[in-house]
Structures are given as structure tokens and as C-alpha cells.
Amino acid sequence: MRIYIGVDSREMDAYAVAEKTARAFGCETYPVREEVLRYYGLLTRPTDRRGGIWDLHSNAPASTEFAISRFFVPLLAHSGICLAVDCDVVFMQDPALLLQFFDATKAVQVVKHAPLLDAGKKMDGQIQVPYPRKNWSSVILWNCDHPANRRLNLATLNQWPGRDLHAFKWLADDEIGELPAEANWLVGLQTKPELPIIAHYTLGVPSMPGLERSEHAEIWTEASQR
């Protein structure tokens, strides 16, 4: 399993845990870095960096440096099947288990989370901005060979509002497949599945100030110490 992990310079300890727990299952890992995409002229959309990241095409804040860069994964992977994840995850079981759910008729497969009833705040005090299909894009099983993903090109990636990318607007609804809840357990927002595959600390990892004793902090902390 090839796994592409979003990189945020403020969350390098989170990235290290995600990478380490993925490699423990023999997976190939690749960092998705915004600055590298910009260096090679792939990512050109304008942002205002005063007091955070403001995406001008979206007229909205970007909570992470990989908010948009995650959607470059099919261009980076070129072909085949791969997984893209946020950096604030822990792989608790072999990610290759997700291949049993692979459906070649789908362009992507995700856990189709219900909308958050209370947006509240997320990591380092940022506001949870509500938008359709929120959290779907935090774990994506990509079918890079699906022809529908050819609609995701440098024009759409650099010009569309982020909310349209996160809502998978380049795809028809029947081109978006499902993964089981175990593939993207939202820690602190959802009841823990019996056997999670991926624990997603979307509210912030326990190394962040004030989150050291947050719900299920021990899973991430133990993984960081292995």
C-alpha cells in the first residue's frame, strides 16, 4: 500500500507518528508538501499568509498546509491504488485491509461522515469551518486509473474553491464509493469502533498544549513512544 501523508510544518510530530505507524505495517509512505508542489510550479493558487492561511480562491481559511495539496495525489501517484491521509492519524491495523473494499467502478472511496452538529474548534484553536462532506477527504482511497479523476487537473486544482474540492465536485455521486467507519474514526467526535484501522485526531494530537489528557490520548501517545 502506498500512503501519501499531508505535511503541515506545525504538526511534524503528528506526521512522524503517522509515518511510523504506517511503515510498521510495511507500507510505502510519501510526504505531500505544499512548498514542494509550489517549487515545481504545480500548485499556484494564491494565499494570504498574514495570521494564518487564507485561500483567496476560496475566500476562506485553510486550516492546514495540505488542505489543497492532498488533491494532487493522483497526479503524484500516476496510476494504481493509493491512500491519502491527514497527518494527524494513527494506523492501528494494516491499511492494506482497506483493499478488500476496493471497487474499481469508483474514482475514490471514503468514510461518508455525517455533518458535524456542533462545528466547534479543532487543532490549535482553529474554527471548524462547516462545508458539505466535511471530513470525507481526510482519508481517501484513490483509484488513480479511474477516468473520472482526469477531471482533476491543474486548472481545477488551482482555481476551484477548496470547498468544491473537499466535496469531490469533479465526481458524480455514483463515482464516490464508501469505506467502513473503521477506516476514519474521528477521535473525540465518534464512539470508538471495535477494531479501528485508522484513528484520526482531527481535534488535535495529544502533543498539543491542553490536549495531553484528551479522549483516547493514550493511543497516540503510546504510538509516538514505540
Cα distances from 132 to residues 73, 87, 102, 143, in angstroms, run: 21, 22, 24, 22
What pLDDT score was predicted for residue 118?
A: 54
pLDDT value for 51: 87
140: closest CA among 32, 53, 13? 32
For residue 33, what is the enclosing H or E element? Answer: none
- Residue 89, classed as helix, strand or coil, is strand
CA 155, 158, 162, 165 dihedral sign is positive
∠ CA 71-67-223 to the nearest 5 degrees? 100
pLDDT at 55: 93
Cβ-Cβ contacts under 8 Å for 150 (sequence gap 6 or more) = none
What are φ and ψ of residue 212, in 5° steps? -60, -30
CA–CA dist 15, 178 (Å, integer): 25
Q: What is the pLDDT of residues 181-196, one digit of tens each?
A: 999 999 999 999 999 9
Give the amino acid at 226: R
Residue ranges in the chain whose pLDDT is less than 70: 117-131
Q: Classify domain 2-225 at the CATH superfamily level.
A: Spore Coat Polysaccharide Biosynthesis Protein SpsA; Chain A (3.90.550.10)
Domain boundaries, the chain: 2-225
